[in-house]
Amino acid sequence: MFEFARAEDAVAYGQLQGIVIALGFIGMILLAIFRDWLVTVVALVPNLVPLVMVFGAMGWLGIPLDMGNIVLGSLALGIAVDDTIHVLSDYTDWRRTGLGAKEAVTRALRRTLPALVYTTAAIVIGFGVLGLSDFAATRNLGLVTAALVAICLMADVLLLPALLVRYGAGNSALKSGG
């Protein structure tokens, strides 16, 4: 039993290291795509918030961090950053046309929101089905992943636009033309 607990601790620590490394690479990729430090930093925030919220809620609800749900951080980052890039790509395109941050966010969401909602709904339903399992690890994985994906969407639809408008991110796209 002790060895199994030690192995789970090692996996959890490794997963946390992996999330930090992944965030570093995601940041470099975002910087390479958008060529704007402010956009990169703003984009990372809504990718971190869902992780903090879900892992915090898991601790508060007494859901153990086990071999089944330890992969949630990487999974969430992959899904959240995909939605973030869709919104940011459209946003920076609108900023290049000369629109202000608020109008660019409005237009970007108008164009990208349906696709984000549909893909999120499909993922939530797919993982939600796992919540019907009698096996606790599978049930926890399904329910927590479904909640995490929904929170990722909310962060990309509510938090990301607010940060973009608040900080006027994307101004270098106007100066450099791309």
DSSP-assigned states of every residue in the chain: -HHHHHHHHHHHHHHHHHHHHHHHHHHHHHHHHH--HHHHHHHHHHHHHHHHHHHHHHHHHT----TTTTTHHHHHHHHHHHHHHHHHHHHHHHHHTT--HHHHHHHHHHHHHHHHHHHHHHHHHHHHHHTT-SSHHHHHHHHHHHHHHHHHHHIIIIIHHHHHHHHTTTHHHHHH--
Per-residue model confidence as pLDDT tens for the chain (178 residues): 667 667 767 777 777 788 888 889 999 999 999 888 888 999 999 988 988 888 888 788 887 776 666 777 777 778 778 899 999 999 999 999 999 999 999 999 999 999 999 999 999 999 999 999 998 878 888 888 898 899 999 999 999 999 999 988 766 554 544 4
Query: What pTM, to 2 d.p., does this model score?
Result: 0.82
Look up the CATH superfamily of 2-176. Answer: Multidrug efflux transporter AcrB transmembrane domain (1.20.1640.10)
Name the residue ranges covered by the structural domains of the chain.
2-176
